[in-house]
Structures are given as C-alpha cells and as structure tokens.
Structure 1
Amino acid sequence: MTQPTALSGSNAVADLDARTTELDRGHVFHSWSAQGGLALLPIAGGHGTRVWDHAGRTYLDFSSQLVNVNIGHQHPAVVAAIQEQASTLATIGPATGNLTRGVAAQRIAARAPEGFNKVFFTNGGADAVENAIRMARLHTGRDKVVSTYRSYHGNTGAAVVATGDWRRIPNEYARAHVHVFGPYLYRSEFWATTPEEECERSLRHLRRVIDCEGPASVAAILLETIPGTAGVLLPPPGYLPGVRALADEFGIMLILDEVMAGFGRTGEWFALDAYDVVPDLITFAKGVNSGYVPVGGVVISDPIARTFDDRVFPGGLTYSGHPLAAASIVAALDAMESEGIVTHAKQIGADAIGPGLAVLAEKHPVVGEVRGTGVFWAMELVADRSTREPLSAALMGRAKGELVGRGLLPFIADNRIHVVPPCVVTADEVAEALATYDEVLSLLDEEL
C-alpha cells in the first residue's frame, strides 16, 4: 500500500486525517445528511477491495462506496486509460465527433439486447433516468410514468419523483408520476405466501393502477431490474416478462434502470440478461466505469432512436460523452472482459457469498432473510423473526459503528446490511468479511 505524500505545511502524514476532517466539516456540504453531526472517515487511497486513511488504517470495502466500484479501486488499466486520454485530449464538446466516445458507445451497445445501437451519455445515473423519461414521453406523446414505491432512481427533478422512498416526499415538483407496489415476498403487500402468488398479484395490482390512470396516458413503466437501495429485491420468476406484456398491451415504454445492477454487479453484464425481458430503454452509470470519472447514459432501442432522426431531441449536457469518461469506460469494460470479472462475480456469489450468508442467517436470530445474486446481496435484520419487526435505527447504527471499527466498510440501508463488495473480491476476503459480520451479528443477538 502506497502512503500519500504529506501536504504542504503538514509535519506528519497522520496529521492529514485531522486536516481532512477539518476541511470537510468546514467547507463540504454532504448529500442526504444533517450537516451538524457528521463524522466521516478520511480516506486517502485504495487498491482492489481495500481503502485506507492517511495514517495507514485499512478498511475492507464491502460497500463498493455507493455500490459502484465494481472493478475495484485503482485498477491500473482504467487509471492508465484516463491518464493517456488526458494527455491527448482532456475535453471536447458533445457537438463533435470523438473516437473514444464512439468506441465507448459501441462497447456498451454490444452488451445490450439486439436492437439497441445508440447510447446517449449523461453525467450519472440520475440524469440518465431523467432523459430516458423524456425520450419515452416524446416517443409516445404521453405523460405519466409508473414506478414502484420501493425504488431509488436519482436526485434530479423527474428521477427523484419517480423514486419511491422517503427522498421523494420533500422533492415532489415533477408532474405525472404514479407509484405502485412491486414484488417483495418477505414483506408482501398482497398476502402472498409463494413467489408465484407474489408475481401474479403484483402484476394484477400494476394492471389495475394502469387501468385506473388510463392506459392511453401512461408513457412508461420505470423499474430497477433488481431494486438495489430498496433491498436487493430479486423479482420473482415471470414478473418482468409480465410487465413487458402489460407494456406491450397498452403501448407503454418499459424503462429498466440498471444504474446499480448493471455491469457485473449481479454476475451478468446487465441484470436483465438473467430474465426473459427486453426493455425499450436501459439506464446505466456506476459499474460501467466503476465511477472513476462521473458518467451515465441511456441505451436506446432502435424504434425510439428513430423517433429523433428528423426531430430534434430537446436534451443535452455540456459533458455528454466526456472523453475522460469515455476512455475509462472502454478500459473498464475491456478489463472486465479480458480478466473474466463478470464471470467471477457470478461464481463468488454462488460459491462463497451466498452460502456464507446462509450460514449466518441460520446462526443468528437477528437475520430475518438473506437474498441476492453475484456480488449484490442483503441481510434483512429483524427484532423478531416471527413478526418480522425491522431492527431499530439505533441498533443499525451500532452495527455500522462496530463493522467500521473492525475495519469493514458496510452499506447500511434501513434495517439491512447490503453485502456489495467489488466484483474482484476474493474468497479469502469474503471469508474475512463474513467473520466480521458474524461478530457484529452476535452482539446484536445479545441486545435482543
């Protein structure tokens, strides 16, 4: 591990952690947070699945930061590609042709289903969703967007209102959004007891909402292929094809949000590859380049792309297809292919993460359910298995503190610990993390 060089005026590397905290508390305004009580870890560097502070304390990153560092920290091929592009052409506007941008779009389209040949680049996942909604509305001439309550689609105008969780409520400024309940058998809204019942009843619920809203007014159904922040909610067999059939019946566009689930996270290039479904629009970001440079986009089906052959698409961004981002995409996808990273993610999930979490669920009463695939898992923690009462926020906070104190960076959402390491995680690192989870879950069991 290479330690950082001290900044000018610092007498010791360890002082940089204090200086980082001082500057952060004094000048950085953080997302989704009350600012006064923040105490953030100072992070100075990283490699693979680990990060460290200036003093050399290391942490095993089982959050992948915001579930985006799929290829791991500081992958040399991606870093080198960014450096090379910066030395050649650091930036150029989107109203130009750029070879690196074209190659990046080609690489992404090659991973999409047949009939997807165009990519619109954005700065991240939220504005990818924003522009996918815009495309669906313009293509259909309709307005309404149906999405689920258990979802997160981003923090821009329409994306945050399409979101179903609490972050939508203070931000409801966009028009024509409708929400439904998606399938979630562990906490079924439909009194279902089997995956088949949950699928059938959630599809009927969706149909009834569309009927009541007026099918001719609905432009799009927007779903995360596998809802991520909402709980890694794998759709039951038949659900996504059923949504596709409903959309086809009423001339509605199906948008699948693959911002979190795409590019290796589920052990597939796109999460949709594991389901018998082809959408009309696919949004992506995060894992496409592991967040080394901000980027996202929309993969557009040919019929929607043709809508704008002779009609101006009324959208754009200064940094759409930024060459540094494009270079990082090409390098990341090529490395994931040549190094077998997506296949590895699938295998490590099936052989190590899934079985290991199942053992923890059997051992610890605080674990209500484990679910996931690839390197995309969640442990749902409960105060009582029989009632499935969610574990309290106070105890979830304690769990987070105990995990970090033991050198593991967790992803905590509501009453869940999401187990989401980089796709390159090794079996030994999984075992290390499972041992840490085991210790902390034992403490929670004692509390209950």
Structure 2
Amino acid sequence: MKMIRITCICIALVSSAYAQTKSPAIKQVEEYTSKQYPSLEKLYRQLHQNPELSLHEEKTAKIMAEELRTLGFDVIEKLGGQSLVGILKNGKGPTVLIRTDMDALPLEEKTGLPYASKARGINAVGADVPVMHACGHDIHMTVFVGTARALTATRKQWKGTLIMVAQSSEENGFGADMLFKAGLYDTIPKPDYAIALHDNASLEAGKVGYHAGAFMASVDMMNITVHGKGGHGAAPHTTIDPVVLSAEMILAFQTIVSREINPLEPAVITVGSIHGGSVHNIIPDDVKLQLTLRSYSPEVRQQIIAAIHKKSEHLALQAGVAADKLPEITINDPQTPATINDVELTNRLVQVFQQQFGKENVVELQPAMVGEDFSRFGLQDKKVPICMFWLGAVDPAKVKQAKEQGVALPSLHSSTFIPLPEPTIKTGVAAMSAAALNLFGSR
C-alpha cells in the first residue's frame, strides 16, 4: 500500500513539474483552445465532408483565406494554383512559417462516420470520382486554423512575423513546386524557420512523433512504354511479346534494391500499374508500366534510374526488339525531393514537446518511405531550416487492440482511415503553437 502511495505521489510530482515548466503563453494557448474546440471540430467536419482534389481546392482555399483575414492577416491568394499565404507582423523578431496542405484523394470513404464524405470531383484524366480526406489534410487545416487563432490571441506574448501557408496540390507533388515557381520566398519576408506536421495513422492521439535528419523519402513517378511486335495468340513465334518482356523487366527491377543498392541505404521500387492488350487472343504491340521510385540519397536515386534504363534496354535487345524500339522511359515533373529535417531545429522542438506533453508522449519514429513536398521549403536559394513532425491521430484503444490482436490499423490513403478528432486537434494546436512560441523567443 505504501509503495502504491509513493508511486502515485511521484507521478503527481512529475505531472506537476511538467505543468510548472509550461510558460504563461502556452497555458493561455491551452485555455483558449479548449474554449475554441467546439468551433474547431465544426470546421473539421465541414472540411471532412467537403474535400477537393489537387488543383481544385477553390472552396477550401476560400475558407482558409477568410479565417486568416478575420484574424488580421494580410492574405495573398492563388499564389501557385490555389495556394495562399497569410502574413501577420507583430513587432521585431524572428519570422516563422507554418504550412498546411489542403487537397484530398480520389477515394470513396467507407468509414461509416455520420459526417463521412459523399463528395465527388473530376480527376486528372477527366473522370468523375469520389473524393475523401484519406490522408488527414482536414486535420492539418483544422490545426492550422487553431494555431493561427491561438497565436493571434497570445500576440502580447511574442514578437516577430508569422507566415501561414495553405498549400494546394500536395498529393500529386505539384503544389510546393508551383508555390516557389510563383516566387513565394520573394513575396514574403524570408522565414528563419519553416515547420509543419503530418497526422500519423499508427500513433496514438495525444502523442507527437519526430525524427531528426531523414524524415520522408524522395519520390519519382516513372513511366515506361515497352514496345514489341503484336500478333495472333496462337502464333507467338511470329511476335515479340511485350507482355512477357514487361514481366521479365518487373522481376529484374526487384533485384536492383536487393542486389545493387547498399543494404544500409533505404530504397523502394514499386510497379503500380500495368496496361497492355485488349482481348484474350491477341498479343499487343505495346505495354505501359507506371512505377514509383523512393530513396533518401540523390546518389541512390540516380543509381536506381540508371539500373532501370540498363535492364530495360538489355532485356528488350535480348527479346529481339530493334534498337530504335527500345523501351521509352520518362519521369514526371516535378520530382518530390526527400524531406530532411534540420537536426538542430528538430532537437530544439523535441525539448519543447517534451516540456509540453511529457517525455512519454514524444516518440522518436523511424524515417518513412512516403513523400512530402514540404521538403521544398528548405531547398531554395534562400536556405531555411525545416522540421515536419508526426501528430498521433488514432484512438489509443484501437492502437492497443491492434497490437494485442496482431492486426494492422487502416493506413493513410485508406478508405477506412478515421482520425480521433478531439485529442488529435487539441494536441496539434498545442504542439504547433508551442513550437512557434519557442522560435519567436516567447517566455
């Protein structure tokens, strides 16, 4: 009994210590966010029910612009697609940029939520498709607005310039590239820091995750047209079968990562699409492949691309394809660079988060092979330290149940992905606000 009492006292003292280390500004943020939460959840549901595809975020961008204008930001709209920027000058001090993304995915929502999306949109090839916020950008935007509200409410506690960027078209990799081609860093005060978050589909709501250095991979979308010589399915000896050649190429590509790349270097080659032929008994002239290539190192990226070219050409020649009909290989522009978190900035924010939430709720996670064009905010001529961190978004009970049963939780980009709104949004606003206040030098 005494041991239990001592343990409880120790836990209470630790909790009290964390509470005492929070600054007056952070305490004010938490109180303000608790009062604001009903309106934030209403906004979240509105965004969730009305998702828009990449480059089509007109209504979403309007909501973000109106929120920032109401708070006193100077707003620049349609800066590279539907992206917008809010600028709030609050005396002399650092310039901190906070970024959110706005676009959704062409998926039919199957969560069964009462506020599930029933929206539809037109995709890149002109097809009418269902649309869903399956990557949590609705969470990102709600936290973004909550943070803007909290920082304006506590503006007596900090000095500097706050830049809020609501970016369109992250999912297809165009958004950040368009922003910088439109001159983002020439249009706004140069940031001293750029920060962002991304919800996490395996981390409990109420926690944040981080990794200094390599955070997310570079992504290339590659297209290959495999040429052959079509003919009757009953006379394959008179053809050069591009279907068989494509199969040989796909298997050969798998050995690039397993046998040519240093095992200590992360790399992934995925063939996500194969299209060739139209009926059972005709060997087609061509087959089209679509691949994604992922890595962290520019050298590994180039090694993968060179190996794909080499294997494709050699296998085609071996199959009897003429030199002028070798596979055509292209890579979509723009490529998404790897997201490399600034180590010093990340370590600084980890201390802020540990003070805010307790060390047990700040988790170091391994780098991920997914891509994020937030990387471009740190790769311009004007070098800016960047940090993206993970925001836990899953009901802790579901995480525990999944671990006990040995089953996987719905991932990001899943039609059944369900964030837990309240702790996720509140934690996100507290984390992003605490990060910004620290960078502004607030005490």
User: Which has the larger share of strand?
Assistant: 2
Which has the greater radius of gyration?
2
| Both proteins in one fold, TM over 0.5 | no
Relative to the length of structure 2, the TM-score reads 0.28
Q: Larger relative contact order (C-alpha < 8 A, sep ≥ 6)?
A: 2
